[in-house]
């Protein structure tokens, strides 16, 4: 299965009923979209979207947000049904956490770092989040595992 393009907030908003009913717990449908993208809400949280008249929209949104993902402590959403255990994310993450770019453009390597990701039972899992660049102080904006996943099984969220 090829990696899907990310849906943009306005695209998702246009597929919603647009009633701003607040039944989902958000003040507007646009706020719901951002919570949906951040994996804080699911499609089931919008009662109007469950109506038959919005079935087509629900199906389209389901392609992007269908199965609830497991969100780890580093903000990595893992959709295990999409992961085939190829390990591409593990390889690039290990390379990213062991390569440091110091001031002046100097590249240094460290080897004592334990990996963040590992393939267990055919699915990627976080085994040591403390080494993730997103957990540094200050945190680094790193999405390399997400970008290199050929199946769209990984997504960085809030």
DSSP 32-80: HHHHHHTTSS-GGG-TGGGSGGGHHHHHHHHHHH-SPPEE-TTSEEE-T
Tokens read off for 111: 């080897």
Whole-model pTM? Answer: 0.63
Terminal Cα-to-Cα distance of the chain (whole angstroms): 26
Q: Are 48 and 17 in contact (CB under 8 A)?
A: yes
Backbone φ/ψ region at 74: left (φ over 0), alpha (ψ -120 to 50), beta:
alpha
> Order of strands across the sheet with 76-78?
70-71, 76-78, 154-156
The domains located in the chain, with CATH, are: 9-66 (1.10.15.40), 76-156 (no CATH)
* Length of the chain as a residue count: 158
Distances (CA, A) of 24 to 30, 48, 111: 12, 9, 47
What is the predicted pLDDT for the residue at 138? Answer: 80
Locus of tokens 């090829």: 2
Those residues of the chain that have pLDDT short of 50 are: 1
Cα–Cα distances in Å, from 98 out to 34, 65, 106, 153?
33, 33, 14, 23
């Amino acid at each position: 299965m090829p990696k899907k393009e990310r849906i943009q907030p306005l695209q998702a908003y246009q597929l919603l009923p647009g009633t701003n009913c607040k039944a989902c717990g958000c003040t507007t449908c646009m706020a719901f979209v951002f919570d949906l993208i951040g994996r804080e809400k699911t499609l089931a949280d919008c009662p109007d979207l469950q109506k038959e008249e919005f079935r087509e929209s629900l199906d389209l949104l389901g392609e992007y947000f269908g199965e609830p993902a497991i969100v780890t402590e580093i903000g990595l959403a893992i959709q295990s049904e999409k992961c085939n255990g190829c390990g591409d994310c593990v390889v690039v993450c290990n390379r990213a956490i062991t390569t440091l770019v110091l001031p002046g453009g100097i590249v240094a390597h460290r080897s004592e770092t334990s990996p963040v990701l590992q393939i267990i039972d055919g699915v990627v899992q976080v085994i040591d989040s403390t080494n993730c660049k997103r957990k540094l102080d200050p945190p680094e904006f790193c999405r390399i595992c997400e970008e290199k996943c050929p199946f769209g099984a990984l997504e960085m969220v809030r």
